[in-house]
Amino acid sequence: MIIGPVMPGPVTTGPAPASSPEWRPTTTRAAIAARATLLARLRDFFGERGVLEVETPLLSRAATTDPALASLLTRYTGPGAPDGQPLYLHTSPEYPMKRLLAAGSGPIYQVCKVFRDGERGRRHHPEFSLLEWYRQGWTLAALMDEVADLCRLLLARPDLPVRHLTYQRLFQDRLGLDPFQIDAANLRRAAIDAGVPGAGTLDLTCDGWLDLLLTHCLEPALGRGALTFITDYPPSQAALARIRPGPVPVAERFECYLEGMELANGFLELTDANEQR
Amino acid sequence: MASYKTNEFKGGLKIMLDGDPYSIVENEFVKPGKGQAFNRTRVKNLKTGRVVERTFKSGDAVEAADVMETNLQFLYYDGELWHFMHPESFEQLTADAVVVGDTAKWIKEQDVCNVMLYNGQPLSVDAPNFVVLEITETDPGLKGDTSGGGGKPATLETGAVVNVPLFVQIGERIKVDTRTRSYVSRA
């Protein structure tokens, strides 16, 4: 089981141009203090619940396997690698943390910088802080409750309400389409009808169209006034989640939204090595 | 043909969309944590000036628009077309009323204008920031008024109308800021 909420961000300082006399960071004293408080509360939260803080390597010999992410590459030269060896900065601490779990660590968490190539925007940065934690033998429902508890604590909003909604329900209610049945041609039509500018000129897979509709038409309204969990994703968007069999198989994964912003993603881990391959 | 990848997108970049030249006004990177990335942009049609939204799949390429800005000297208006000349190559170019638009009311012969060229032809013409024009018509000011608490409309030799202090008279040349369309001083 994994969850990686992106924390309400550190304000990072971009590299100043060499000629610029402005050396001051763009953050404020108040923002630094708020961040320190948040980290202290977060550590208290997991400490009280018996979840151990761990630290795992940032550098790895392999790049990420997630097709939606890209790794940054660096290089080590020195003892053991006289000719230099390429090393990738992790996109999440998932794999080394799973090795700790497999070796019997019990529940663990980590707050660390992660790195993603190709991502820069208002809500994206090539480096950002991520919280990742694992609970063994838990249900997704229990994990979502814990995410909600943590958010209420960190946001100092003890009465923040929680909503649950399936991925299918979200698309049915808001766009009148079934994301599990529809094909790419009809998704394109739906995107055009929904007024996504330039939708007619895009060439996307089914999941690409669903991502387009989610980011352009659905996300801005998600989590208004309540922490909103979207559950039961299409198996094609399972990542490393387990698939729950049924008339309509779904990936046992959730995403959590607040005020139009994706905060976290969690899932029931796929532990069948054969299926993973 | 030249093209730009979405990673090159930034404000001011000139691209072709649906056969028209556009300039990128705003570019935002959008991506679900686990999913497809998009570039959500606002783009301005350089022919019509209209600003619209457009979404691209990150990684896609878009054709570059052959748009460049240059300074051309305004030579004369022949009743139908405005004639301009490049001050160094002496190449002459013409622009019609659609291209020149409102700028016609602010320029006169010899003025050097900023002209946007699309495929080598004028697409839009900007007047110099400051121009000096003669007043051809305005009410006579009140005697003794030298500071001018209020103002009055004055018609300039090009046909434009600006508000001027009461003491400025017909036949005087004044300096005008064409961006705000306002009186600056006597020239």
pLDDT band at residue B146 under the 50/70/90 scheme: low
Segment A247-259, tens digit of pLDDT: 889 999 999 999 9
User: What is the pLDDT averaged over residues B77-99?
Assistant: 94
User: What is the pLDDT averaged over residues A75-88?
Assistant: 95
Segment A10-65, tens digit of pLDDT: 444 455 455 666 888 889 999 999 999 999 999 999 999 999 999 999 999 998 88
> Looking at the complex, does the CB of residue B53 fall below 8 Å from at least one CB of chain A?
yes
> Looking at the complex, does the CB of residue A92 fall below 8 Å from at least one CB of chain B?
no
Residue A272, pLDDT > 80, answer no
Taking an 8 Å cut-off on Cβ atoms, the answer to whether A208 and B55 are in contact is: no
Segment A130-183, tens digit of pLDDT: 999 999 999 999 999 999 999 999 999 999 999 999 999 999 999 999 999 999
d(CA B184, CA B180): 10
* Nearest CA-CA partner of A186 in A167, A164, A170, A171: A171
What is each CA distance from B17 to A97, A146, A189, A201, in whole angstroms?
A: 47, 48, 20, 10
In sequence order, the β-bridge partners of residue A74 are A87
Residue A1, pLDDT > 50, answer no
Structure confidence at residue A241 (pLDDT): 86
Contacts of residue B91, Cβ cutoff 8 Å, sequence gap at least 6: B85
pLDDT band at residue A8 under the 50/70/90 scheme: very low
Phi-psi region of B49 (alpha: psi -120 to 50; beta: other; left: phi over 0): left
Structure confidence at residue A258 (pLDDT): 97
- Is the ipTM of this structure higher than 0.90? no
Structure confidence at residue A12 (pLDDT): 47
What residue of A is the nearest CA neighbor of B59?
A118
Q: How far is A81 from chain B (nearest CA, A)?
A: 34
Mean pLDDT of chain A: 90
pLDDT band at residue B29 under the 50/70/90 scheme: very high
User: What is the pLDDT averaged over residues B96-112?
Assistant: 93
Structure confidence at residue A67 (pLDDT): 83
- Residue where the block lists tokens 């699309």: B118
* Contact pairs from chain A to chain B, CB under 8 Å: 73
The closest CB to that of A197, out of B31, B55, B57, belongs to B55
Taking an 8 Å cut-off on Cβ atoms, the answer to whether A197 and B7 are in contact is: no
Segment A172-216, tens digit of pLDDT: 999 999 999 999 999 999 999 999 999 999 999 999 999 999 999
Taking an 8 Å cut-off on Cβ atoms, the answer to whether B36 and A207 are in contact is: yes
Tell me the two tokens of residue A245: 């069999």
Structure confidence at residue A75 (pLDDT): 96
Residue predicted with more confidence, A273 or B159: B159
Structure confidence at residue A270 (pLDDT): 75
* Nearest CA-CA partner of B184 in B160, B157, B161, B165: B165
CA angle (A204 as vertex; A203, A209 as ends), nearest 5 = 130
User: pTM for this one?
Assistant: 0.79
CB environment B78-94: b (16+ within 10 A), e (fewer): eeeebbbbeeeeeeebe
Residue B185, pLDDT > 70, answer yes
d(CA A2, CA A269): 7
pLDDT band at residue A2 under the 50/70/90 scheme: very low
d(CA A39, CA A149): 15
> Looking at the complex, does the CB of residue B22 fall below 8 Å from at least one CB of chain A?
no
* Nearest CA-CA partner of B30 in A130, A196, A123, A70: A123
Tell me the percentage of chain B whose pLDDT exceeds 70: 95
Structure confidence at residue A134 (pLDDT): 96
Residue A3, pLDDT > 50, answer no
Contacts of residue A161, Cβ cutoff 8 Å, sequence gap at least 6: A225, A226, A227
DSSP H helices, chain A, are 29-48, 94-102, 140-154, 167-175, 184-193, 206-213, 273-276
| Burial label, A52 (beta-carbon count in 10 A; 0-12, 13-18, 19+) | middle
Segment A100-123, tens digit of pLDDT: 999 999 999 999 999 999 999 989
* Nearest CA-CA partner of B170 in B143, B129, B140, B144: B140
Structure confidence at residue B90 (pLDDT): 93
Structure confidence at residue A11 (pLDDT): 42
**Best to test chain B binding among A125, A205, A211, A219 (most B CBs inside 10 Å):** A211
Q: Is A4 helix (H, G, I), strand (E, B) or coil?
A: coil
Structure confidence at residue A56 (pLDDT): 97
Contacts of residue A197, Cβ cutoff 8 Å, sequence gap at least 6: B52, B53, B54, B55
Q: How far is A124 from chain B (nearest CA, A)?
A: 8
Q: How far is B13 from chain A (nearest CA, A)?
A: 17
d(CA B65, CA B77): 29
Structure confidence at residue B141 (pLDDT): 65
Distance between first and last Cα of chain B: 48
Phi-psi region of A8 (alpha: psi -120 to 50; beta: other; left: phi over 0): beta
Structure confidence at residue A20 (pLDDT): 61
Cα torsion through B172, B178, B180, B182, rounded to 10 = 0
Residue A5, pLDDT > 60, answer no
**Best to test chain A binding among B54, B55, B56, B58 (most A CBs inside 10 Å):** B55
Kindly write down the DSSP assignment for every residue of B9-57, as one continuous string: --TT-EEEETTEEEEEEEEEEE--TTS--EEEEEEEETTT--EEEEEEE
> Looking at the complex, does the CB of residue B9 fall below 8 Å from at least one CB of chain A?
no
Residue A9, pLDDT > 50, answer no
